[in-house]
Structure 1
Amino acid sequence: MPKFYGQSLKKDLFIGYLYVSSQSDKDIYTGAAMVTDLRGIPVEFKYVDPIRPSKLEKVLYGNALEAYLKEELILQNLIKSIEKKPEVLICQDPSLIGPARSLLKTYVISIERYAGSPLESRGAFERLPDGESLLLQAEEVGPPIRVHFGFSFQETEIEAVLHILEKAACYMDLLEPFQRIIKALDVVIEES
């Protein structure tokens, strides 16, 4: 297992968070991207105003409406608007990894808490049978996180992504920025 010794992080290393939301009860779609430094301090925040599809759009787009709204309207606009390009973009929705990766040309992953036992030490990782995910012990204590790449990954991608996540986990909870984004989008929807 790689230990990442001798690698240094750039001072201007950024992690991006992408959140796309559909509130079917309110018929609202929106999304936001937040770029943070390694401490979780925001350096950029972009959002898409809430979108409420009309009855005609629902009929014309049919089952493709949600994919169109999420991928073409929200995702593309957010990624094009990001000025501080992150080294890693973390999507809350694994289905957006491929489209985001093709637009951003950087590492794009999703992460989630894993309910299993901790791995042997901080920085340890274990490949999962699906070939697209692995477990990372990002913090000294507690359960590992599941890192999903969305495709079969290369060893160099593993090293780069895990190194960044491990370093950021020293200063912040890697999933906490999504909570801030959700609250910010609630404010945006409330004010629209």
Structure 2
Amino acid sequence: MAAAKLTIGYVLALPVAESVFMGGAMVTDAYGLPLEFRYTEPVRATKLQRVLYGDVLEKYIQADVIAGNLVSRLEQKPELILVFDANLLSSMDGSKQKIAWISPGRGTPLKEYGALQDGPDGEFSLQLTESGAPMRIRYQVTGAVASDVTRKSEIARILTDCGRTMDLLEPQTRVETAVKMLWEEAPETPTAG
């Protein structure tokens, strides 16, 4: 598939106030131009929920209530969905769509653009610039070796193709800024999640 036809989704969920969370999702083309944007209304955790869910409440709201909902509502089905919080990987259904966590790496550059270096299960480094540290990529491992190898190579191919025409990290900043702006412009009373 030519890079120009590839689409990438960016999904995030973040706290916007004490016990209040919002999320956003944007699908871009291979140049980073937005094709679709969705966001959630604010979700406020109630006192009872904070007691019952304890330490897992934030992860549950961000991953299951917000991120999962956003992905299911996308009309554009991107070839790859990128998240910037590794906690979102475990609860999003990676069997239906390719989902990966991406983060700047700190290692020495790999020998060439597109070079891949295996890491622990479900993680690898990918050189997406001509110089500088490779990106760290993590994906949901299914346990089926052939399927996981295929998934890793497909994720690496999409990122390598799109990395030639766009900064793969930059759209996440736009989504985060848009969600914060939506919260600041209309901080209505959030509903219970």
Fold conserved between structures, TM > 0.5: yes
Aligned residue number for residue 137 of structure 2: 147
| Aligned 8 A contact 2:3 2:161 in 1 | no
Aligned residue number for residue 27 of structure 1: 19
Quick check: 1:96 aligned with 2:125?
no
Aligned residue number for residue 168 of structure 2: 174
| Aligned 8 A contact 1:20 1:92 in 2 | no
| Aligned 8 A contact 1:139 1:166 in 2 | no
Residue 82 of structure 1, CA deviation: 0.4
RMSD of aligned Cα (Å): 1.9
Aligned residue number for residue 114 of structure 1: 105
Which TM-score applies when normalising by structure 2? 0.86
Aligned residue number for residue 189 of structure 1: 183
**For the structure 1 residues 163 and 20, does the alpha-carbon distance in structure 2 shift closer, same or farther, using more than 3 Å as the test?**
same
Name the aligned partner's letter for residue 167 of structure 2.
Answer: D
**For the structure 1 residues 127 and 28, does the alpha-carbon distance in structure 2 shift closer, same or farther, using more than 3 Å as the test?**
same
Alpha-carbon deviations, 1:4-41, whole Å to 9, x = none?
xxxx4275321011111124x63221111111000011
| Aligned 8 A contact 1:38 1:171 in 2 | yes
Name the aligned partner's letter for residue 140 of structure 1.
Answer: E
Which TM-score applies when normalising by structure 1? 0.86
Equivalences, count: 182
Matches within 5 A, 1:59-78: 59-78=51-70
Aligned residue number for residue 5 of structure 2: 12
Aligned residue number for residue 191 of structure 2: none
Query: Aligned partners of 1:136 and 1:68: how far apart in 2?
Result: 30
Q: Greater relative contact order: 1 or 2 (C-alpha under 8 angstroms, separation 6 or more)?
A: 2
Gaps of 5+ in 2: 188-193
Name the aligned partner's letter for residue 120 of structure 1.
Answer: K
State the secondary structure of the residue aligned to 1:131: coil
